[in-house]
Amino acid sequence: MFTLSEENYLKTIYHLSLETSNGISTNAISNQLQTKASSVTDMIKKLSDKKVLAYKKYKGVTLTGFGKKTAANIVRKHRLWEVFLVEKLNFSWDEVHDVAEQLEHIKSPKLIHQLDSFLGFPTHDPHGDPIPDADGNLKTIEKSLLSTLLKNECGICVGVNDSSSEFLQFLDKKGIKLGKKITVLDKEEFDNSLSILIENKKLSISNKIANNLYIQKS
């Protein structure tokens, strides 16, 4: 069994591992968790003793199979709870993360199994992120940043890169929701801003926004 702190380290290392194929550095972890590098070294030793991390001094860490499964299960819980909050308790997608950060640590296999079933076995959370299955496997879908689409290309909005409440509320204000079709009408060379069509409305989108929206091309 893992402590709350151990679980948070595991989850962070799991997320970092999905981005970079190399070992995860002490500093990368400390940046993410807002702790000091020395604290990370201490925790790495503990987690390595518990067989969830492979660690060689100064060489960074990688998750073991067991570690990967353990971490994926925490992410699974986080995302299932986010679905619950949005679908059943009428939270908006910018309000769920902090509560899910707490709920993901609840220990009860039956609870998570029943919750999954109650929610109809969802595959993605409210931000479009995939929910690992009970064995910790993720199925990733083909998706591209909106900023990489060319003029006249289109696709379905399937996720966000930035899930801060500021960005999510901004999307709400603009009427941009997951599942909607987006067409790139024009692309401005000067500042890489886009003119897009969504639900018969024309919108002007800055590059910063386009860099944080995922599209499944169609």
Partner DNA sequence: ACATATTTTTAGATAAGACTAAAAATATAA
Partner DNA sequence: TTATATTTTTAGTCTTATCTAAAAATATGT
181: nearest Cα among 203, 165, 211, 161: 203
Give the integer Cα–Cα distance in Å for 4 and 104.
10
Q: Using CB under 8 A, which residues numbered 179 to 198 contact a second copy?
A: none
In the complex with DNA, which residue's Cβ is closer, 24 or 158? 24
Task: For the beta carbon of residue 14, count every other beta carbon within 10 angstroms.
Answer: 23
* Residue position matching structure tokens 């994926």: 72
In the complex with Mn ion, which residue's Cβ is closer, 100 or 194? 100
148 lies in the binding site for DNA (CB under 7 A): no
16 in Cβ contact with 32 (< 8 Å): yes
Q: Using CB under 8 A, which residues numbered 29 to 88 contact a second copy?
A: 85, 88
Binding mask 2-31 for DNA (x = CB under 7 A): -xxxx--x---------------xxxx---
Using the contact rule CB under 7 A, the part of the chain among 14-22, 33-41, 80-88, 156-164 near DNA is 33-41
User: Choosing among a second copy, DNA, Mn ion, none, which partner's interface includes residue 141 (Cβ < 5 to 8 Å by kind)?
Assistant: none
Cα 27 to chain center, whole Å? 20
Q: What is the 3-state secondary structure (H, E, C) of 37-79?
A: HHHHHHHHHHHHHCCCEEECCCCCEEECHHHHHHHHHHHHHHH
94 lies in the binding site for Mn ion (CB under 5 A): no
User: Choosing among Mn ion, a second copy, DNA, none, which partner's interface includes residue 134 (Cβ < 5 to 8 Å by kind)?
Assistant: none
Query: Under 8 Å CB-to-CB from 55, ≥6 apart: which residues?
Result: 44, 45, 47, 48, 61
Using the contact rule CB under 7 A, the part of the chain among 36-44, 121-129, 147-155, 209-217 near DNA is 36-44
- Shortest distance, position 74 Cβ to DNA, whole Å: 14
- 193-214 as b/e: b if 16+ CB within 10 A: bbebebeeeebebeeebbebbb
- 166-192 as b/e: b if 16+ CB within 10 A: ebbeebeeeebebeeebbbeebeeeee
125 lies in the binding site for Mn ion (CB under 5 A): yes
User: Choosing among a second copy, DNA, Mn ion, none, which partner's interface includes residue 116 (Cβ < 5 to 8 Å by kind)?
Assistant: none
- Shortest distance, position 203 Cβ to Mn ion, whole Å: 24
Residues that bind DNA (CB under 7 A): 3-6, 9, 25-28, 34-46, 55, 57-60
Residues that bind a second copy (CB under 8 A): 85, 88-91, 95, 98-99, 102-103, 106-108, 110-111, 114-115, 118
